[in-house]
Structure 1
Amino acid sequence: MLFHPDRLSFGIVLPVQARTSADIRFDTQLDMASHADRLGFDALWVRDVPLNSASYPDPVGHADPWVFLGALAASTSRIALATGAIVLPLRHPLHIAKAALSMASLSRGRFVLGLGSGDRPTEYEIFGADVESRKTLFQFHWERLAAALRQNPEVIDEGGRVRNEFAIRPSLQQRSIPMVAVGSSSQSLEWIARHASAWMTYYRPLSIQKDRLALWRNAQAKVTTDFRGFGQSMVLELLDNPEAAYEEVNLGGRSGRRGLIGALAAMREAGIHHVAFNLAAQGRLPGEVMEEIAADILPAMR
């Protein structure tokens, strides 16, 4: 289970490569993925970036997430495969359902479906969607997607009608596919707590993130008694010097391993359940960084 009330799990954000305008290097990323799998990381996170533009700060030429996930499923055996996040308003929910069911089957139950609303008006424009309608569009697409992913699936048409003459396959072979809200998705926290199994957000200094956690707990208390996970992405610059103190950087931290262990322990104590590392390029080989995390940090956190 990727989100558990009593433990902190760890993921790697792919691609692990320098943030330049170069396209994704598939062979390298598949090697990284299988290495993370062997080292004991809990998840690999894949982004959905349909189009590159100056308005998107990451210049990497990302792969189609579903094609990439299929290759990851074939290259790994244990690690969860997660989307962070499929842009739900810009993709048809029945296409997403088909892909998600296929991934769940191909990965033998390791797939986690992270969904976001996207926030680039120009991207909405080029896909012929109204960015101002993303809140209601996200909700309607979520409803149709969730219906198609149930144990007894239903295909809902554009008018909200159940169309019993259609079936969507492959059939669900596991209890459920976790649906995770990534970012605010233009929704209230109560809506997210009611509909999503977990909420993934971006890194904030812990003193600030604790306020978000308090709001999240309050939202959950109003709508459900079920457990709802809380996770965050995190830029990580792991330094050679194990004694280097933890310090904040943009959307993450820079630290030696001892300082990082202390920071992660504080996150776990605050109620964070998952951290997805975005490994920053800072002179060290990413495989070496993952090995240090696996050898010295993961055991200290479990």
Structure 2
Amino acid sequence: MTRSARRTRRTLQVTGASGAALLALGACSSGRSASSDSSASAPAKPSGTVTVFAAASLKESFTTLGRDFEEKYPGTKVTFSFGGSDSLAASITGGAPADVFASASPGTMAIVTDAKDAAGTPATFVRNQLQIATLPGNPGRVTSLRDLTGSGLKVVLCDREVPCGAAAQKALDAGGLKLTPVSYEQDVKSALTKVELKEADAAVVYRTDVKAAGDRVEGVEFPESAEAVNDCPIVLLKDAPNEEAAKAFIELVRSADGQRVLTAAGFLKP
């Protein structure tokens, strides 16, 4: 083999080796790029604090869901503000910083959506039905809504602007009944507390609140309650300080796990 031929052969070998190296380098580079792209496109996990404004009737179940959320997403914290849905809606439209609003009725949710303070369309996640809460043992022998209209019984209702009060009035109208309570309360928990403290003989509240109270009260079903079932909607709020965590919390509420917690508390499926 001539010197020229050997030089040509060595040149081809070097060229081949260089080409292989370049291909390998390109493959590694491509792998890193794909990995980087995949990492960049992965959704960020929720973090930080999510603030939830929720109807008083949701206190027990949402507190449980808040703990579940924090366990599922370490590094997060759920802060709740519970109260009458109308008061919460007024706070939101007044500029109170919050991420999520869960209302006890579509009517109070409309206060927020009409003010364009919702980031999307509210979704009904549960329904709630009324029940009569009496003193333990039901000493007044209350068996119907009509019994509450009799003299001698101290009855408490929620304010008519509050979903439980509006529902109670609707049930009374369905039965053709009139009732003058000893007081109107600002939210369902306040109405129930009057019975728990024996300051009232009975209150018209939600079945979920009667269940949460345990043996401190006794519940009485009444047929007119079927005419006043409330849908409970939830929505992401406009300009939510923690949008990602807010969306994740709403997803948990509407998930199968969330629904199990809510139905166990006495809520009806939507």
Q: Structure 2 length normalisation: TM-score?
A: 0.26
Structure with larger Rg: 2
Q: Which has the higher helix share?
A: 2
Q: Structure 1 length normalisation: TM-score?
A: 0.24
Greater relative contact order (Cα < 8 A, sep 6+): 2
